[in-house]
Structure 1
Amino acid sequence: MSLTLYLHPLASFCHKVMIALEEAQLPYRAVTVDFADPVSAKQVSDQWPVGKIPLLHDEASGRHVPETTIILEYLAERHASMARLWPSAEETRLEARLWDRFFDLYVQQPMQKIVIDRIRPPGANDPHGVAEARENLRVAYAMIEERMVDRVWAVGDEFSIVDCAAFPALFFARIVEPFPASAAALSAYFERLLARPSVASVLAQAQPYFTMFPYRDAMPARFLPGA
């Protein structure tokens, strides 16, 4: 198998790439990285010293490709099924790149700030930073709510790279900072994402690990193992 993805099944940024691979029906070998194990972690750090996952290895080209959007652009240049996730029209493609970054930077990152703060040692918490992250999520929710009125998918008429980015960001963000009751369009969009077969597949792979999530106590029961 030419493609190997170094990942962790609980990692939201990994889910973005996994959903896209499922959508494109590209076969790949998944290698779970345990950063508590130096040997396991070395598989990533030897190729990408910042030690972040996901990391793609393409045996056919001999290349290691880091960073979610770069991975998906790399694959789109080589596989027509992945290219279909990127809008072909120039203006729509630019819009897709914008909203892909939006979900990574303004939903994923604030969510991760909140999650990481919960597992910091006593005395090392950052209440001000967490409050700021929560406010950033509320602003992002309002923007998504406005955008998704009368839309099915985030950009264009078809499921795209943006929706691959949106689901994992919204899934975990919704747990740490629930959507407001007034966000009907955002909530409906989330349920459409949840019903997508590619999303359901990735979520099923993550489910056994949800007990490790620092906000497990706030996770809706329908997502917990055995639900």
Structure 2
Amino acid sequence: MSLELFGHPFSSYTWKALIALYAAELEFEFRIVDAEHPDNVEVVQSAGPLAKFPVLRDGENMLFESTTIIEYLSHHHASDMLIPADPDAAIGMRMLDRMFDNYVMEPMSQVVQEYIRDGENPDEARVAEARGKLERSYAWLEGWLQFYPPMDHVTLIECAAAPALFYADWVSPISSQFPRLRRWRAHLLQLPPVAQCVEDARPYRPFFPLGAPDRD
């Protein structure tokens, strides 16, 4: 049985797993999770406590959480190309993975959730606080990028960074005071595995709660 990924093309965390699958050139079946595919919804609901996607099914193995999926792919299917075998290098990579999930993706999601809750009257204090966190993360990443030149090889870092920065820039645009970060985001979006995710998600842009910008 081939690998199966359950998720949605517009989901940032689904992107994270898809980028790994595309980069490793692994054969898999994509199972979209929406109201028109109740069987796929049922699989996701059975996989984890909060019925969140993505979910990877590999025979009898069922995994949820995108980082766990990438760890599994790297160990079982991608010969450590996504996460290095060297433990110290892997620790550094995992730290950056958490950076993007917790300090970029999470505050971006907080803003989006406010507009889902009430698009006409979001809690401006909460939105401002979340955007402030994004600005601090942008500043930290701008400094970190002095030591991390853009690469064409996709690792766990690129899998985490590309969707996080793609959507974060829609919520709180990366300003010209962060030139390295702006250049790196543009570089990430040109990587073939990421570019495929961008194109596959394009039909769903009208559903973005803040209104998708006319770019990217």
**TM-score in terms of structure 2 length:** 0.92
Q: CA deviation at 1:144?
A: 0.5
Q: Deviations over 1:169-203 (max 9, x none)?
A: 00000011011211010011111111111111111
Unaligned runs of 5+ in 2: none
In the alignment, which residue of structure 2 is the partner of 1:94? 91
**CA distance in structure 2 between the partners assigned to 1:150 and 1:69 by the alignment:** 23
Q: 1:198 to 1:20 in 2, by over 3 A?
A: same
What is the root-mean-square deviation of aligned Cα atoms in Å? 2.2
Of 99, 103, 116, the residue aligned with 2:100 is 103
Matching of residue 114 in structure 1 with residue 111 in structure 2: yes
Q: Deviations over 1:197-224 (max 9, x none)?
A: 111111111111111111224x1x233x
Alignment of 1:40-55 (within 5 A): 40-55=40-55
Q: Deviations over 1:2-40 (max 9, x none)?
A: 211110010001101100110000111111111697655
Of 204, 212, 215, the residue aligned with 1:209 is 204
In the alignment, which residue of structure 1 is the partner of 2:3? 3
Of 133, 158, 178, the residue aligned with 1:183 is 178
Q: How many residue pairs were aligned?
A: 216
Alignment of 1:143-158 (within 5 A): 143-149=140-146, 151-153=148-150, 158=153
In the alignment, which residue of structure 1 is the partner of 2:136? 139
Of 161, 165, 175, the residue aligned with 2:160 is 165
3-state DSSP of counterpart to 1:77: helix
**CA distance in structure 2 between the partners assigned to 1:204 and 1:51 by the alignment:** 26
Matching of residue 63 in structure 1 with residue 74 in structure 2: no
**CA distance in structure 1 between the partners assigned to 2:37 and 2:126 by the alignment:** 30
In the alignment, which residue of structure 1 is the partner of 2:70? 72
Q: 1:207 to 1:131 in 2, by over 3 A?
A: same
For the 8 Å contact 1:54–1:66, the answer to whether it is kept is yes
**CA distance in structure 2 between the partners assigned to 1:105 and 1:28 by the alignment:** 28
Q: 1:37 to 1:97 in 2, by over 3 A?
A: same
Q: CA deviation at 1:87?
A: 2.5
Q: Deviations over 1:90-121 (max 9, x none)?
A: 22211000000100011001101101111214
| Percentage identity across paired residues of the two chains | 36
3-state DSSP of counterpart to 2:187: helix
Q: CA deviation at 1:85?
A: 1.5
Read off the aligned partner of 1:99 and give its amino acid letter.
L
For the 8 Å contact 1:7–1:33, the answer to whether it is kept is yes
Unaligned runs of 5+ in 1: none
3-state DSSP of counterpart to 1:46: helix
Q: Which moved more, 1:118-127 or 1:71-80?
A: 118-127
For the 8 Å contact 2:97–2:156, the answer to whether it is kept is yes
Instruction: Show structure 1 runs of 4+ deviating over 4 A.
Output: 35-40
